[in-house]
Amino acid sequence: MKSDSENFEALRKLIALKRHEIPPPGYFNRLPGSIISRIERGEGQLSFWERLAANFTVRPAFAYAFALAACGALTATVYSGKGRVTDTAYQPTSKPGWRTTSSDEALGFNPAEGPHVATWLGSTNPEAASMTLPSLFDVPYRTVQVNYQR
Amino acid sequence: MLTNTDLEKPMSLSPASESPEDAQSGEIDDSTLVRRAQAEDVSAYDQLIRRYQERIYATVYHMTSNHEDANDLVQETFIKAYRALKSFKGDSSFYTWVYRIAVNKTINFLKQRKNRVHMSLNDVDFNAENDPDLVALVSDKTPRRDLGLTELQEKLNDALQKLSEHHRMVVTLHDIQGLSHEEIGKIMDCNVGTVRSRLFYARQQMQAYLSDYLK
């Protein structure tokens, strides 16, 4: 049985013809000059993002440090934002951000206890909307006197 | 004159395209030139270009079968290598590194160029007419005895263009450039087994395409 090299011997001889294909005369004398002049003209300068990507490829430690810093910044942003929402959510109605209706007090709601149910429902704040709503049946009992005089 | 033994080994294209080891045994080795080029010494980079331009050009040219495309890609390869030189840490030789840039650039280019192949072949040099193996192929072994070298060249390039980019690259680097399987593996970022199997498959395909000229 013939080996692979014997099987392909004629093909390899034919492929060797490619080695005889040569570029126009003087081409290799001109090529370095063309490349250097393009380099000196500033062609092929890497953009900021390409340089960053190159650094990631070459220095994995740089990539890890960058990823860590980005995660830290993201976490800090999320937590600081969350704190602000929480503060607002539990503010009594005396602070801006909560609607205070004139009927609240008339109905016996104490603004210091928290916002009115309507205020919770009307809020577009997802944090506030997801919180446990005060019961609709927690309206303070008020005695009403009715006179049946005719 | 080419012999079978010559075909087994890398053929020296010119003094400038000797093996990397030979190149490094010259006046200034690659690593020194690279360090100087990293410090923006353009003349050092010019020497590196002169050292490797022929092999890089040959690889790109045999892949594209087009001199103009090869010229553009070689220039872009060396410009990109210069811009990225500061990130070159010397884990591989400069020669392998720049080859890898050329190979990636060429494969990307060919994927974009798909279905619009336009060959612009270089002339075959005078020595080819005296190459006994080729003379035998042209005059004795082919069914068409009037087939000239130029026609044979076109058929060969047609067959190469029918291979996928990766298979063509392996044939180019091994059978034309004479690189070893290990070197090709490093350049193409794959293992030696993959290189061997790609080479075998590519040769089988080419043999089928060129069967009329190999009888």
Q: What is the ipTM of this complex?
A: 0.76
**% of chain B with per-residue pLDDT over 90:** 55
pLDDT tens track for B72-128? 999 999 999 999 998 888 888 999 999 999 999 999 999 887 766 676 777 666 666
Query: Which residues touch B98 (CB under 8 Å, ≥6 apart)?
Result: B48, B52, B56, B77, B78, B81
pLDDT tens track for A108-135? 556 565 555 555 555 566 665 556 656 6
Confidence at residue B139, expressed as pLDDT on a 0 to 100 scale: 56
- Is residue B112 domain-shared with residue B41, that is, in the same domain? yes
Domain interval for residue B133: 123-215
Domain count, chain B: 2
Both tokens of residue B182? 């290990």
Domain membership of residue B11 (yes or no) is no
CA distance A58 to B38: 15
pLDDT tens track for B178-193? 999 999 999 999 999 9
Write the burial class of residue A126 (CB in 10 Å: 0-12 exposed, 13-18 middle, 19+ buried).
Answer: exposed
Domain membership of residue A79 (yes or no) is no
* Average pLDDT of the residues in A7-25: 86
Query: Which residues touch A18 (CB under 8 Å, ≥6 apart)?
Result: B62, B156, B160, B176
Closest by Cα among B127, B81, B91, B110 to B169? B110
> What residues does A147 pair with on adjacent strands?
none
CA distance B162 to B168: 9
* Average pLDDT of the residues in A18-23: 88
Domain membership of residue B131 (yes or no) is yes
CATH, residue B82: 1.10.1740.10
Q: Is the pTM of this model over 0.80?
A: no
CA distance B155 to B123: 14
Confidence at residue A55, expressed as pLDDT on a 0 to 100 scale: 65
Signed CA dihedral, B19, B21, B27, B28: sign only: positive
3-state secondary structure B64-110: HCEHHHHHHHHHHHHHHHHHCHHHCCCCCCHHHHHHHHHHHHHHHHH
Domain membership of residue B12 (yes or no) is no
Q: Would you call A16 and B131 a contact, using CB atoms and an 8 Å cutoff? A: yes
Alpha helices in chain B (DSSP H): 4-8, 20-24, 30-38, 42-64, 67-83, 94-113, 132-136, 149-162, 165-171, 181-188, 192-209
CA distance B149 to B135: 9
Q: Which of B122, B143, B176 is the last residue of a domain?
A: B122
Of A29-33, A107-111, B49-53, B156-160, give the lowest mean pLDDT range.
A107-111
Domain membership of residue A110 (yes or no) is yes
**Total length of chain A:** 150
Q: Would you call B214 and A11 a contact, using CB atoms and an 8 Å cutoff? A: yes
Chain A residues touching chain B at CB-CB below 8 Å: 4, 7-24, 27-28, 31-32, 34-36, 38-40, 43-46, 54-55, 57-58
pLDDT at A89 over 80: no
Helix or strand or coil: residue B177? Answer: coil
* Average pLDDT of the residues in A29-45: 91
Domain count, chain A: 1
pLDDT at A95 over 60: no
Domain membership of residue A97 (yes or no) is yes
For tokens 């609240």, name the residue.
A104
Helix or strand or coil: residue B18? Answer: coil
**Chain A residues touching residue B122 (CB < 8 angstroms):** 21-24
Q: For A54, which of B62, B74, B84 is closest by C-beta distance?
A: B84
**Chain A residues touching residue B149 (CB < 8 angstroms):** 17
Domain membership of residue B74 (yes or no) is yes
Domain membership of residue A96 (yes or no) is yes
Q: Would you call A21 and B71 a contact, using CB atoms and an 8 Å cutoff? A: no
Q: Would you call B152 and A22 a contact, using CB atoms and an 8 Å cutoff? A: no
Domain membership of residue A122 (yes or no) is yes
**Chain B residues touching residue A39 (CB < 8 angstroms):** 42, 45, 79, 82
